[in-house]
Amino acid sequence: MERELALEFVRITEAAALASGRLMGRGDKEAADQAAVDAMRTVFDTVHIDGTVVIGEGEMDEAPMLYIGERVGTGEEPAVDVAVDPVEGTNLVAKGLPNALAVVAIAPKDCLLHAPDMYMEKIAVGPGAKGCINLDASVSENLNAVASALDRDVQDLTAIILDRPRHKEIIAQIRAAGARVKLISDGDVSAAIATAIDGTGVDILFGIGGAPEGVIAAAALKCLGGEMQARLTPEGEDEIARVHKMGLPDANKLLQLDDLVAGDDVFFAATGITDGDMLRGVRYSGQTAETHSLVMRGMTGTIRNIYATHILERKPSFVSRTAQCRQNTRQK
C-alpha cells in the first residue's frame, strides 16, 4: 500500500469523530454510533482502495452499513482488508467519559484475522516488554517478566483491565503481586494501545474483551512495535463452529501478533471523540471544529499526530452578503 493512503484513512476517522462527537453526553449510544457509521461510510466511497470489511458493524443481516463482507472504496487497487470501529466506546460517548475513539485498521487482503463477534482473552505490552509475555503464564509471572524488561519493580507497574465481574480473580492477582490497577468501563482498544505509548502510565493489558476489538488493537500494536497474545473464548457449539469457519481448526489456539495481523504492511488510524490518555476529543466552535488524530504505518514505523481544523459551514463572503443586502433594498 502507498504511504499517501495514510491521510486518506485519517479523513475516515475524522469524519466519524466529527459526526459522533456532536452527541457526546446526550445519553444515546445508538445515535452516536449511527452518526459515526454514516459519516465513515460516506468518506470510504472516496478512498482509492478495493476494500472488504472483515471486522465491522456485524453480519449483513445485522447492519445496513459497514457490515462484514461489504465492499468499500472506489474499487481500485490495492485490494485490502478493512477493520472498523466507528465508535470505540459508545457508552463513553453517551456518558461524556474519556477515551472514546473512531478507529480503522487496513492491511493487504487476507492479512487481518476475520475474528467473529465473540470474546477473546488478551494480554498486551509495549515495545519495551516485547517478547516477555505469555498468555499461558500466571499474572504474577507476566508482571515480574515485564518489570524485569523495563528495569522496574512490580510495584511500579500499572495494569489496565476492563471493570467486569469476570475479571475479579485477575484483578485480585494483580493487586496481590503488588502492581497498580487501572480499571476502565469500556474501550479496550485504546487501553491496549496505551501500553505502547509513552506518557500514558500504562504498562500491560490483561483481560477478556471483544475479539474484533482485539484484532484492531493488534494492528495498532504492530505499528507501535508492541506485542499482543490472544485466545478466542467461544461459548457453545455455535461459536466453536464460527471459529472453524474463519479458518482456525483449533478454537483454543494461542494467537500471536502475526496470527492476528499478518505482515507489517498495515495502517492504523484513530481520531479522538472524547478527551483521552492519547488523543484530545473533538472541539466545536461556531463554523469550525478541531480534531486530534493518530495515524501509523507498520512497514515504516511512522507515527503521525495530526491536529486539524475543519470548516463545518462556510460563511458567505462579504461580497455575496453585500449583494444580498442590495437586492433586499431594491425589493423594498
The answer to whether the annotation marks 165 as part of a ligand binding site is: yes
The answer to whether the annotation marks 51 as part of a ligand binding site is: no
User: What is the CB-side half-sphere exposure of residue 103 using CA atoms within 13 A?
Assistant: 29
Q: Which residues contact 24 (CB under 8 A, 6 or more apart)?
A: 32, 93, 96, 100, 273, 274, 281, 282
C-alpha 91/C-alpha 99 separation (Å) is 11
In the chain, where are the structural domains located? 4-112+266-329, 119-260
The pLDDT tens digits of the residues spanning 111-155 come to 999 888 899 999 999 999 999 999 999 999 999 999 999 999 999
The answer to whether the annotation marks 187 as part of a ligand binding site is: yes
The pLDDT tens digits of the residues spanning 50-73 come to 999 999 998 766 778 999 999 999
Q: At 328, list the grid cell.
A: 433586499
Considering the domain delimited by 4-112+266-329, tell me its CATH architecture.
Answer: 2-Layer Sandwich (3.30)
Query: Which helix or strand (DSSP H or E) is residue 260 part of?
Result: helix 257-260
Q: What is the pLDDT of residue 58?
A: 81
Type of residue numbered 321: R
Q: Which residue has the higher pLDDT, 244 or 225?
A: 225
Q: At 198, list the grid cell.
A: 509513552
CA dihedral angle for residue 244, residue 249, residue 250, residue 254, rounded to 10 degrees: -100
C-alpha 256/C-alpha 262 separation (Å) is 10
DSSP assignment string, 100-163: -EEEEEEEETT-B----SSEEEEEEE-GGGTT---TTS-HHHHHHHHHHHTT--GGG-EEEEE-
Q: What is the pLDDT of residue 315?
A: 52
Same fold? 4-112+266-329, 119-260: no
The answer to whether the annotation marks 166 as part of a ligand binding site is: yes
The answer to whether the annotation marks 277 as part of a ligand binding site is: no
Residue the block writes with cell 452527541: 23
The answer to whether the annotation marks 89 as part of a ligand binding site is: yes
Q: The whole model's pTM is what?
A: 0.90
Q: What is the pLDDT of residue 314?
A: 58
Please say if the pLDDT value at position 216 is more than 60. Answer: yes
The answer to whether the annotation marks 117 as part of a ligand binding site is: no
The answer to whether the annotation marks 98 as part of a ligand binding site is: no
The answer to whether the annotation marks 169 as part of a ligand binding site is: no
Please say if the pLDDT value at position 326 is more than 50. Answer: no
Q: What is the pLDDT of residue 313?
A: 72
Considering the domain delimited by 119-260, tell me its CATH architecture.
Answer: 3-Layer(aba) Sandwich (3.40)
The answer to whether the annotation marks 25 as part of a ligand binding site is: no
The answer to whether the annotation marks 213 as part of a ligand binding site is: yes
Per the DSSP assignment, residues forming a β-bridge with 228 are 124
The pLDDT tens digits of the residues spanning 180-207 come to 999 999 989 999 999 999 999 999 999 9
The answer to whether the annotation marks 276 as part of a ligand binding site is: no
Q: How far apart, in Å, do the first and last CA atoms of the chain sit?
A: 61
- By CB atoms closer than 10 A (0-12, 13-18, 19+), residue 155 is exposed
The answer to whether the annotation marks 233 as part of a ligand binding site is: no
Report strand pairing: 288-297 vs 283-285. antiparallel
Q: What is the pLDDT of residue 104?
A: 98
Please say if the pLDDT value at position 161 is more than 60. Answer: yes
Q: At 16, list the grid cell.
A: 466519524
